[in-house]
Structure 1
C-alpha cells in the first residue's frame, strides 16, 4: 500500500505544483485588467469573468511597448524619460541598477548565463555549478593579476539568490551542458541529473572560456 501511495504522490505533486504556479501567474496577470476603465471591463459586458484575459492584455501591452520603443519617436521619449529619472537621487540608483542587470540578462549581445561552469567552492575539493557572467571591469580589473572571469554561484533550490565571484580563468571548467539543464540540476538538488555528453578533447579543453 505504501508503494502505491508514494507512486500516486509522485504523479500528483508535480502536477499540483505546476497548476498552482500557472494559476498564480494567470491571476497576477489578470490584475492588469484593473487598468482598464470600468466601462471597458470584460466582466461588465460579458456578464461573467474569463480567466486569462489579463495574460492577453499583458502580452499586448509588452508587444506594443516594444514596437513603440524601436521607432525614432519612441526612442526619443525613452531618452527624455530616463533623463528625468536620472535627476531623482534614489530612483536613479534603483532604476539604473535594475536596468543594467536586465540589459545584461536579456540582451542578445550579452554573455551572462551563456555558459555553465564547474568550480571549486566554498573550499578546494568541494565542487559546484556556476554560470559565466563576464569579466571583471572597472578599477577591480586593475587589482587582479592574470586572466580572471566573473561567475555567479546560485543557491539550491532557489537559484535566484547566490554569490558573485571573480576567479582565475584556469580555475573554472566549462561544462558541455546547457544553462537550462544546469539550472534543473541545481533546483532539483542534484536529483535530476543532465544527460551525459562526451567531454571535449585536448589538454584542458574543458577549462577554456572564450
Structure 2
C-alpha cells in the first residue's frame, strides 16, 4: 500500500516536472536566441569588413604586423575614420571641385554613367535629412481587393507615371517575407492608402516575422472600435471601361 502511494506520488511529480522543464527550456531559448543571433550577425559583419579593409592598409602601418594577435574591428574602425575624413575633405572647396571633376568623367562613360547616377540618387534620397522615404508604413489592398498588405511610402509619384494617371499617386515599396530587401514597386492612388500608426521598425519586424511579431495598437479605444476600411470601400468608386481596346480603371467622379 505504501509502495503504491510512493509510486503514484512519484508519477505525479514526474508529470509536473516535465512541463516545468520544458517551460524553463523555452524561456531560456527565447532569452538567449535573439542575443546569440544578433551577436553572430554583428561578428559576421565585423569580420567581413575586416577581411576587405585591413589588407588595404600598408604593412608598416598595420598594427597587426607588430602584434602576435589580430584586432577584431580594426577594419571597421579604419573604414569609419576614412569615410569621416573623405566627408570632411569633400565639404571644402577643393574637395567639391574634385568630386565634380570625377562626376564629369563618369558621366562620359555610357554604362558607368547610368549605374553611378542611379546609385547616387538612391543614397541621396534615403540619407537626406528632409527625405520622407521609408518613414511611413501604410496599408494597401494587394494583390486584389479584400487582401491587405503592409507597404512603405518612398515618395510622391512624378513624371510620366503621374501624368498618365487620373488620381494623385504615391510610390510604395511592398516588401516580401522574410527578406524585406526584395519586393515590388507599386504606384497607388493616395486616397486608397491607409496610413498606419505603427513605426517603420515595427512594420519591418512584422514583415520579417511573417506576422508572428505584431505591434500593439496604440490608438485610443474609441478609434480601435471604428474600422475605417473594408474590402468594398473603393469598389463603388471605379468602373471598368475600354479605351483604345485597353481596359482601364476610371473614377466615377466628375472631372
Report the TM-score, using the length of structure 1 for normalisation.
Answer: 0.89
Superposition pairs of residues 31-110 of structure 1, within 5 angstroms: 31=51, 32-110=53-131
Runs (5+) with no aligned partner, structure 1:
205-210
1:190 aligns with 2:240: no
2:138 aligned residue (98, 103, 117) = 117
Equivalences, count: 204
Q: Take 2:184 and 2:23, find their aligned partners in 1: how far apart are those partners?
A: 40
- Does the aligned pair in 1 maintain the 2:151–2:172 contact within 8 Å? yes
Moved over 6 A (4+): none
Q: Provide the residue aligned with 2:236 in structure 1.
A: none
Report the TM-score, using the length of structure 2 for normalisation.
Answer: 0.74
1:145 aligned residue (163, 166, 171) = 166
Q: CA RMSD in A?
A: 2.1
Q: Take 1:190 and 1:3, find their aligned partners in 2: how far apart are those partners?
A: 23
Instruction: Please state how far the C-alpha of 1:11 moved relative to its aligned partner.
Output: 3.1
Q: Take 1:169 and 1:78, find their aligned partners in 2: how far apart are those partners?
A: 38
Instruction: Please state how far the C-alpha of 1:4 moved relative to its aligned partner.
Output: 4.1
Q: Provide the residue aligned with 1:13 in structure 2.
A: 33
Instruction: Please state how far the C-alpha of 1:57 moved relative to its aligned partner.
Output: 0.8
For residues 101-155 of structure 1, the C-alpha deviation after alignment (integer angstroms, 9 at most, x for no partner) is 1111111122211111011111111111111111221222211112111111111
Q: Provide the residue aligned with 1:30 in structure 2.
A: 50
Larger Rg: 2
Q: Aligned with 1:157: secondary structure?
A: coil
Runs (5+) with no aligned partner, structure 2:
1-20, 229-255
Q: Provide the residue aligned with 1:208 in structure 2.
A: none
Question: Which structure ranks higher in relative contact order (CA pairs < 8 Å, sequence separation ≥ 6)?
Answer: 1
Q: Take 2:175 and 2:22, find their aligned partners in 1: how far apart are those partners?
A: 35
